[in-house]
Homo-oligomer: A and B are copies of this chain.
Amino acid sequence: MGGTTGCYTHSQGALVLRKEIAKGIEARDGYPCDVNTLFMTDGATPCVHSALKLLIRTKYDAILTPIPQYPLYSACIELYGGTLTPYYLNEGSGWGLDCAHLKKQLQDARERGENVRALVVINPGNPTGQCLSYENQVEIVKFCREENLVLLADEVYQTNVYRSGCVFTSFKKVVRDLGDDYKTFTLFSMMSTSKGFYGECGRRGGYMEVVGTTKKLLAEIYKVLSIGLCSNTGGQINMALVMNPPREGEPSHPLYAQERDGLLGSLGRRAHKLAAALNEMDGVTCNDPEGAMYLFPRLEHPPAVWREAGKIDRSPEFLYCMELLEQEGIVCVPGKGFGQEPGTSHFRITFLPDEKDIDEVIMRLKRFNDSFRAKYAAMGDE
């Protein structure tokens, strides 16, 4: 009892750790953060569950969700019996988020009788890796306010940005920059210890900051989360360390900064190298990597791939990924699970293998891609 990490904490997370997180958020954004708006959870997943459970009352309650998306969102919307209203990220503009398209999808949904209650934005994107520009984020926030939507911002990849000129800005900062008119703008911002340059996924550290809402709603979220008593203390401690790392001038800062920059620099080099190599392969195109931990390249297949996949009721990239695994031992994820525009085919690949192994990965991928295409091209068009 008392004073050890074996004890239950406050259901929102230990206050001393929420204070650390609040400090980190304030340093990141330049705006105050109230510890009472922070809810620490076992990874960020329970945050998404809580937010969607709160928002979805009947099957008519709908959530605007990006396609492609991390399938946690589609799974939770299904689980809680709501409706997924899709919006498509624009592959042609680097997986950009087009507000005119968003508006169109919203209007269509409303005409179908859906009660669209929230917009999900994953920034940087998973599986698509794009990092939104500040101007685009302002547009998104304004759109949500006009249309009376809650913004669910999945910001778990906030430190994973690799493209020069790209900077991650939190939606909290964007909302606060917009001034007093946006004081009651409701935003859920999700964060995790599973990504970044730390990648402590098994620790299950996570939190959400619930911005601009009422005390009553905060009390409701607290009540629901307190059913599970608290998140694990080890994960809570990790999360606090991630959000409030050593600052400049502190004794451990130089070593921390060196390790951080080393790891992120290496991830960036791997990302760019892999994307460049993919773009040189036949039938493969890949947007420039901006952030997160993935590339989501597009495949143009010989017609026989579509035909053979259709026979077993699978997507063409399922064949691609299975044969890649069998022939070269490389695991990739078929695009279908994330969603993609009809008639297109993608797969998700991480750039997490050791930097020394990336050349080998590229060699195998290319060898496989050539043989796969040759095999199916030989099977003809009909």
Closest 6 CB pairs of A and B: A204-B232, A202-B233, A45-B228, A232-B232, A6-B200, A42-B42
Tell me which of A61-69, A71-79, A129-137 binds B.
A71-79
Q: Which of B79, B194, B230, B232 makes the CB contact (< 8 A) with A227?
A: B79
Which residues of the partner chain B approach A53 to less than 8 Å between Cβ atoms? 79
Q: Does A7 contact B (CB under 8 A)?
A: yes
Q: Does A352 contact B (CB under 8 A)?
A: yes
Which residues of the partner chain B approach A203 to less than 8 Å between Cβ atoms? 5-6, 232-234
Which residues of the partner chain B approach A227 to less than 8 Å between Cβ atoms? 45, 72, 75-76, 79
Q: Does A1 contact B (CB under 8 A)?
A: yes
A228 and B46: CB pair below 8 A? yes
A310 to B188 CA separation, bound complex (whole angstroms): 40
B224 and A204: CB pair below 8 A? no
A231 and B6: CB pair below 8 A? no
Which residues of the partner chain B approach A9 to less than 8 Å between Cβ atoms? 202
Chain B nearest CB, measured from A2 CB (Å):
11
Q: Does A306 contact B (CB under 8 A)?
A: no
B352 and A202: CB pair below 8 A? no
Q: Does A43 contact B (CB under 8 A)?
A: yes
Which residues of the partner chain B approach A49 to less than 8 Å between Cβ atoms? 228
Interface residues as binary, A176-220 with B (CB distance below 8 Å gives 1, 0 otherwise): 000000000000000000100001111110000000000000000
B224 and A201: CB pair below 8 A? no
**Interface residues in A, total, Cβ within 8 A:** 35
Q: Does A291 contact B (CB under 8 A)?
A: no
Q: Which residue of B is nearest A223, CB measured?
A: B75
Q: Does A372 contact B (CB under 8 A)?
A: no
B1 and A352: CB pair below 8 A? yes
A-B CB contact pairs (8 Å), 11 listed? A6-B201, A7-B201, A8-B202, A45-B228, A45-B229, A49-B228, A75-B227, A79-B227, A201-B229, A202-B230, A203-B232
A200 to B233 CA separation, bound complex (whole angstroms): 10
A53 to B75 CA separation, bound complex (whole angstroms): 14
Chain B nearest CB, measured from A266 CB (Å):
13
A8, A42, A233, A234 pick with most chain B CB within 10 angstroms: A42
A53 to B234 CA separation, bound complex (whole angstroms): 28
Interface residues as binary, A1-21 with B (CB distance below 8 Å gives 1, 0 otherwise): 100111111000000000000
Chain B nearest CB, measured from A46 CB (Å):
7
Which residues of the partner chain B approach A235 to less than 8 Å between Cβ atoms? 232
Chain B nearest CB, measured from A234 CB (Å):
5
A32 to B233 CA separation, bound complex (whole angstroms): 33
A7 to B201 CA separation, bound complex (whole angstroms): 5
A340 to B35 CA separation, bound complex (whole angstroms): 36
Which residues of the partner chain B approach A7 to less than 8 Å between Cβ atoms? 201-202
Which residues of the partner chain B approach A72 to less than 8 Å between Cβ atoms? 227
Q: Which of B43, B194, B232 makes the CB contact (< 8 A) with A202?
A: B232
Which residues of the partner chain B approach A200 to less than 8 Å between Cβ atoms? 6
Interface residues as binary, A232-272 with B (CB distance below 8 Å gives 1, 0 otherwise): 11110000000000000000000000000000000000000
